[in-house]
Every structure is written in structure tokens, then in C-alpha cells.
Amino acid sequence: MTAMTRILAIVFVVCATAHVAAAQSFPTPRVRPARPVPPTPPVAPAAPAAPTPPSPPAFPYVDALPDFDPDFFASINDALAGIDFDGIQAATKDALAGLDFSFAQQKPFPNPPLPPLPPQDVRGTQEESTYEQARSLIERDQYERALQAFDRVIERRGTRTDAAMYWKAYSLSKLSRAPEALSVLGDLQKQFASSAWAKDARALEVEVRQQSGQAVPANSTDDEVKLLALRGVMQSDPDAGVPIIEKMLAGDASVRVKDRALFVLSQSRSPRARDVIAGVAKGASNPDLRLRAVRYLGMRSDTESRQALDEIYRSTSDAELKRSIIRSFMMSNGTNATERLVQIARTEKDPELQQTAIRTLGVIAQSDAAEALRAIYTSDVPVETKKAVIGALGMRPNGAATLVTLARAERNPELKTEIVRRLSTMRSPEARDYMLELLK
């Protein structure tokens, strides 16, 4: 018999004996005489009760308990008496006092911050977005809302400040607030005397002075009639309408009228119309008109238009115009557009423009863009350029296979980590299989 069995048996017998002794020690209670109870009316006989199961014996296992040795329990008492519990408690306190638990009050280490985006890129993107929103509000004749958006652009003091001041003055003139419009135009000509918007500001100033005090400008209807007439001529006889629009673009019409005339011209697929649009994009015209002309050339998606865009990109130093050309290549279809974007991504010295071209390769529809990005990655380019390629491949539907190939060959830990991070967010069989391969 084990020691534990003996202890349990002794405890059980002691408890049972105490229970029996307590039951025998209680005296028999006196029985009080019953009070007379009034007779009750007879009731229906109750159903016979179910038989009560026999109650089990009080201690069914007492007779089965094995014999125990009193000397065994005496030895246990002697062993317990020899343990110094006070000494153990004191030693434990001393050991805990020597430990430093201050780490429990420390804050966990924060995750490393993500690398910040280039300030100029963020600032320029927000400024351009707000500016385009304000221009679209003008096209819908919502001049009050356009004023608020142009004020936000002006407050940034970025590359679009002069253009925003011009359109703010234009909106004020449409709201018959001529004195405020003239004040803004005066500030524009003082602060940006060499700006391409200065000439248009002087023309608008003359127009506002002529129309001062009138709720509706006198020649606004004439402009609308001219544009409607041009649209009708272009639909019926494009060859006759193109020279009229070309003359209007070279004349003293307002920027808005020229912008709409340029749009009417973009609806024509004639080679002459394309040449006029390319001339506006190449010339020293209003900056907004140049950007619109570049956009219209990209929408034509023909070889001659892409060739014109390529020539403009190589001849200009205007970063905004170059960025617009890159976006126009994105709208163009064909291998030539991919080849030009790859050339820009490899040769462009401006890191922002280079990464813009790489991101564009990540979203264009051409299937050969993934292979072009892989070729850029494996060439002698800086680490930041390779990171941009990783991000562009992560946006392509077929980019996971290329990223897995680059990851297996990559020896730079930083770049390999970046590739794996990008693959971990992609839902493709190639990415999943490579993740399992790394876990093995």
C-alpha cells in the first residue's frame, strides 16, 4: 500500500467515526401532542406514489479499508517537524528583494516608423489635386467654391500659386467683385512679373476694367456663341474649323475660351488638328494650355502623337510638364509607350520623375511592363530606384512571379525584406508558395 493511500484511508475513517459519534450524542426530541384539526372534505384518491429506491448503506466501503500502520504516520509527523518553514520564507524574501522588476513598468518598444514620403512629392500632389478640383469647379460655374480651393493653393506658395491667383481673379470677376479681382491681378503681376501667367493677367485686367459694374460680362455670350459655332463647324467641315481655332489660340482670347477651343480641336482626328495641338504643347503658351495639349496628345494614341510627346519631354526642363507627359504615355496604347517609359525610368536624373515613370509602368496595361521593370531592377540603379520597382511590380497582376524571381537572387537583406513584405500582401499562388518555401 502506498503512503498516499494510507493517508486517504485514515482521513476517511476519522471523518466517518466523528459523524457516527455526533449522531449518537444528540438526545431524542420530545413529541408534542397534536392539535385537533378540523375535518376536511373528501378528495379524490391520489395516484399511488412511485416506489422509493432503497437508500445506500451509510459507510459502504469501511469494511473494505485495508489495515494501516500507525508508525508510518508518526514518521510523517517527525519529517514535517524537521522542516524550517520560517527559514524558507525568509530566504524567499531575500531572493525576491534582489530581483529588478522595473522592466514590467516599461513601455514596449514601438515599431520602427515607416520611411517618410519626399516632402516635395506630397506637397506637389496635394497642390495639384486642389488646383484641378478648383478648375473643375470653374467649368461648372461654381465660383464661390472655386475661390476657397484657389485660396488653399495660394497659401501653399507652391508651383501653382501664380495660376491660382489668375483663376481666383477670374472667379471674382464672374461674381461681379471687380475691385477684388483687380487687386489680385495687381499682386500677381508684382509677385510673378516673369511668370507665363503675367501676360494673361494683363489681358484679364483690361477685360475686368471694361466690364466693371456689370452683373454679366458683355462678351461672355459672344464667347459662348463662338464656341458653339466652332463645334458645329468642326462636326460638319473640320478642315475649315481647324484654321479658325488655330487663329483663336494665337489671339487675345481669354484662357478659358482657348481651353474650350482646344478641347473642340481635340475631337478631330485629322493630322492638321494634331499638329496644332502639338504646337500648343511645344510653344510658350499658357502653362495650363500646354498641360491640356499634352493630355489631348496622349489620348490620341497614335505613333505621331507619342513621337511629339517624346520630343517635348527631351526638350523641356519643366518638371510639371514632364510629369504630365509621363501620365500621357500611360494613356497611350502600344509597345512604343512602354519603351519610352522604360527609357525615362533608366535615364531621368530627377528622382521624383524617375519614380513617377516606374510607378506608371506598374499600372499600364501592356503585359511586357513586368519584364521591363525586372530589367530596370537588375541594372545598375540606386537602391531607392529598386524599391520603386518593387512597389510597381506589387501593383501588377502578374508581378508576383517576377518578384519571387528577384527575391531568390537578391543578396541585399534590405531589398529582400522589402520584396518579401510586398509579396506578403499579394494574393497569388506564386507569392503563397514562396512564403511557404521561406517557412520551411
Q: In the Cβ-directed half-sphere of 310, how many Cα atoms lie within 13 Å?
A: 17
Distances (CA, A) of 246 to 229, 250, 279, 435: 15, 6, 10, 59
Q: What is the dihedral of CA 209, 211, 214, 218, to 10 degrees?
A: 180
CB under 8 A, 24+ apart: contacts of 184-192: 188/162, 191/162, 192/161, 192/162, 192/165
Q: 3-state DSSP call for residue 192?
A: coil
pLDDT score recorded for residue 80: 58
pLDDT score recorded for residue 39: 55
Q: Locate cell 483690361: which residue?
A: 206
User: What superfamily does domain 124-210 belong to in CATH?
Assistant: Tetratricopeptide repeat domain (1.25.40.10)
| C-alpha cell, 81 | 517537524
Positions of the chain with pLDDT lower than 50, given as ranges: 5, 13-14, 16, 18-23, 25-29, 31, 43-44, 46-47, 50, 55-66, 68, 101, 103-123, 214-221
Closest CA to 278 of 289, 298, 294: 294
Q: How far is CA 196 from the centre of its chain?
A: 36
pLDDT score recorded for residue 257: 82
pLDDT score recorded for residue 109: 41
DSSP, residue by residue, 78-127:
HHHHT--HHHHHHHHHHHHHTS--GGGGSPPPPPPPPPPPPHHHHHHHHH
pLDDT score recorded for residue 208: 82
pLDDT score recorded for residue 254: 79
For the chain, which residues make up each domain, given as ranges? Answer: 124-210
